[in-house]
Structure 1
Amino acid sequence: MSYKSVLVHVGPEPPSAASLAAAEQLARQFDATLIGVAAEALEPPATGFEDGLLLQTLREQVEADLATAGQRFQDAVAESGLQTKWLAIPSAPDRVMALHARGADIIVASRPADGFGSSLLPSIASLVLDTATPVLVTPSHDHRELKAQRIIVGWKDTRETRRAVTDALPFLLAADQVIVAAICREGRSDEATGLEEIVGRLERHGVRAEGKLVPRRQRTVADDLEEVAHEHAADLLVLGAYGHSRLREWVLGGVTQGLIDRFSRYLLFSH
């Protein structure tokens, strides 16, 4: 099993530089086609009425931004030898990525950045919950290479986590060590249900996996997972993602959002 198509949104440079670099690395590692997408929505004037000249200026700005993103993508892949595809679409990034995820095995995304709204960047919540495609989230302030030699799987016996394990198999098969960690509160061994079975399944695939019961010690499960990742020097955490729709927007669950906000390593989410 392998990833044969990698999708990345190429937006404003500061937040998307890490995701573009990681996507290129991933495409090289798995000999995959790299699909770059630039999407930017035309935001209407806040005045409530349309001004023809202003709208034309805004359209030209969107076109210029998309062209700049396209040049950045071409510069990044020029000497890579990769098979690539480029799309530039003047529409909301969330909608565009949800549509074109159908042609991808995995999406690479940057963490949210201050000052860049939904007209410029897709939300991680939308990518994770609305695409049916695994999403690799890059560290926010560190463009480190993803080695994925030591991986933590945050285990909970749910549909989302089972899906995440399957979606992560290309990474897990290539890893030197995979720890399947179940965070358990005192007296709640039921929270580790299925741990032995999932480890056995991974071993039958040839994954070097071991199960680990981790007592709940920190304030949140996200903090406990961060501690386990630090203990094992892991640079990738695999997790099932949870969320719901609220006021027509996707909202992530507490552990998922907490990891995005604070976790300093790569994250792979599936829903």
Structure 2
Amino acid sequence: MTYATVMVSLALDQPNDARLQVAGEIAERFEAAIVGVAAAQFLPPLYFTDGAAAQGVIDQGRASVERRLTKLEAQFRAAVRNRGGHVEWRSAMDFPARFVLAQARCADIIVSGGQSPAFSDAFSLASPRDLVLQAGRPLLVVPDKVDWLDLRSVLVAWKDTPEARRAVADALPMLRKARDVAVVEIPEGDDDRSAAMARVTDVTAWLARHGVTATARVCEATGNQSAADQLGIVAGDVGAGLIVAGAYGHSRFSELILGGVTEYLVTQSARCVLLSH
């Protein structure tokens, strides 16, 4: 398995340098095609009028969005010039998440920016919250403070679920290029540590058969820290530049609700995260 097509989701009026840099690196490492995608919708003002004046406002707003998408395309092409193979740009006047999710069919992996917990704009930004549970492809979340894909140390956050199994399989191309890989399980409640160690040992043995040398580790159970906090501590201990994890959540009336660890992973700003659902 390899990554033959890398898709990078860009946002209007937001920093895109980090995700462009990392997407270009992946395309270069795997000699992959790279596809840039962006979309935005014009949001009419609250003091909206009618008639010819209304149409003028709409036309001006749409023209502004189109100019910004054109500028974003130029930024994308400049950033990925001479990196990877085939380069392609796709954009539309559409809700960003809906457009990116539709285009995901042509990609092996999607690169997205991170997002602060307080910020969300469905008219100009396809946030990782929007993408992670619906894309059907692994999502690499790149915080704005990260300027390269550091594979010197990779942390696999193991949980014996279909999502975690899918994430490890999706991450295999990167894991093969990593220098150190740690498979870590964080016990929950009264979990049996010996059973947890057996699980992560199975995973490291499976990885070995795929050419990846990894170590197995089970964290000490603690009642005063959340799983997200413990994961952050372990990632710091091993110097992880990348975390691989399953993405957990559900839909409630059309609203996507992420679990606590997944929410932490898409909003933390220290390291890249590969998530699969």
TM-score normalised over the length of structure 1: 0.93
| Deviation of 1:262 (Å) | 3.0
Q: Compare 215-224 and 125-134 and name the one that shifted more.
A: 215-224
- Unaligned runs of 5+ residues in structure 2 are none
CA distance in 2, matches of 1:85, 1:21: 16
Correspondence list, 1:37-52, <5 A: 37-47=37-47, 50=50, 51-52=54-55
Q: What is aligned with 1:227?
A: 233
Q: What's the counterpart of residue 10 of structure 1? A: 10
- On the 8 A contact 2:34/2:84 being kept in 1, the answer is no
Moved more, 44-53 or 249-258: 44-53
Match of 1:120 in 2: 124
Query: Is the Cα contact below 8 Å between 1:156 and 1:193 reproduced in 2?
Result: no
1:177 aligns with 2:180: yes
**Residue type at the aligned position of 2:70:** A
CA distance in 2, matches of 1:6, 1:13: 22
Q: What amino acid does structure 1 have at the position aligned with 2:205? A: G
Match of 1:129 in 2: 133
The answer for unaligned runs of 5 or more in structure 1 is none
1:148 counterpart SS class: coil
For the aligned residue pairs, the C-alpha RMSD in angstroms reads 1.9
More displaced, 194-203 or 204-213? 194-203
Pairing of 1:5-154 with structure 2 (within 5 A):
5-12=5-12, 14-47=14-47, 50=50, 51-80=54-83, 82-112=85-115, 117-140=121-144, 142-154=145-157
Quote how far apart the aligned CAs of 1:263 are: 5.1
Letter in 2 for 1:8: V
1:243, distance to aligned residue in structure 2 (A): 1.0
Q: Which amino acid aligns with 2:227?
A: V
Shift of the alpha carbon at 1:13? 5.2
The CA deviation string for residues 194-231 of structure 1, in whole angstroms up to 9 with x for no partner, is: 22222211111111112101113462111111111111
Partner of 1:240: 246
Mapped contact 2:32–2:84 kept (Cα < 8 A): no
Distance 1:145 1:236, change over 3 A: same
| DSSP-derived class of the 1:15 partner | coil
Between stretches 3-12 and 128-137, larger displacement belongs to: 3-12
Q: TM-score, normalised by structure 2?
A: 0.91
Residue in structure 2 matched with residue 264 of structure 1 by the alignment? 270
Offset of residue 192 of structure 1: 5.4
Structure 1 distance, partners of 2:156, 2:93, is 37
Number of corresponding residues: 270
Question: Following the alignment from structure 1 to structure 2, what is the Cα–Cα distance between the partners of residues 81 and 202?
Answer: 27
How far 1:116 sits from its partner (Å)? Answer: 5.9
Aligned equivalents of 2:227, 2:18: Cα separation in 1: 26
Letter in 2 for 1:60: A
Runs of 4+ in 1 over 3 A off after TM superposition: 47-50, 79-82, 113-116, 190-193
Cα distance, 1:49 vs structure 2: 5.8
Q: CA deviation at 1:186?
A: 6.3
CA distance, structure 2, for counterparts of residue 179 and residue 203 of structure 1: 12
**Residue 237 of structure 1 aligns to a residue in which SS?**
strand
Is residue 37–residue 86 contact of structure 1 (8 Å, CA) maintained in 2?
Answer: yes
Q: Secondary structure at the match of 1:54?
A: helix
The offset of 1:80, in angstroms, is 3.2
Which deviates the most, 7-16 or 229-238?
7-16
Distance 2:13 2:132 in 1: 22
Moved more, 216-225 or 50-59: 216-225
Secondary structure at the counterpart of residue 223 of structure 1: helix
